[in-house]
Amino acid sequence: NAGVTQTPKFRVLKTGQSMTLLCAQDMNHEYMYWYRQDPGMGLRLIHYSVGEGTTAKGEVPDGYNVSRLKKQNFLLGLESAAPSQTSVYFCASSDPGTGGTEAFFGQGTRLTVV
């Protein structure tokens, strides 16, 4: 049982390039989240989804887009990367049937924008 898997694990982008981060979960969870973590800042919520076909903005959504076309996948897109988006990105999922408070996280994607 893989849990939450993020692809890729590392990436270096040039300013202005675009990319998509993929998150896949095999636990049939309805809720999925994308966070970014910067040194000394804790985790900040970028976007989240409460089910297939739905997305919503979190604390820091600017510069990112997301899609949830399939229940098991949650994609995070950067249309035009900026150095300020250099960060570690974490995806998570949770099950509202058990309260939604226990989230399972992926191993993270370390993104550097130069």
Within 8 A by CB and 6+ apart from 84, the residues are: 63, 113
Out of 13, 29, 94, 113, the residue judged to bind other proteins by CB under 8 A: 94
Nearer to other proteins, 16 or 51 (CB): 51
Contact positions with other proteins (CB under 8 A) in 2-61 = 4, 31, 33, 35, 40-45, 48, 50, 56, 58-59
Q: Which two tokens stand for residue 51?
A: 């089910």
Contact positions with other proteins (CB under 8 A) in 60-89 = none
Q: Which two tokens stand for residue 69?
A: 């076309």
Q: Closest distance between other proteins and the C-beta of residue 105, in Å?
A: 3
CB-side exposure of 51: number of CA atoms within 13 Å? Answer: 2
Question: For residue 25, what is the enclosing H or E element?
Answer: strand 19-25
Out of 7, 96, 112, 114, the residue judged to bind other proteins by CB under 8 A: 96
CA 101 – CA 96 distance, rounded (Å): 8
Nearer to other proteins, 7 or 107 (CB): 107
* 16 within 8 A of 7, measured Cβ to Cβ: no
Applying CB under 8 A, the residues found at the interface with other proteins are 4, 31, 33, 35, 40-45, 48, 50, 56, 58-59, 90, 92, 94, 96, 99-108
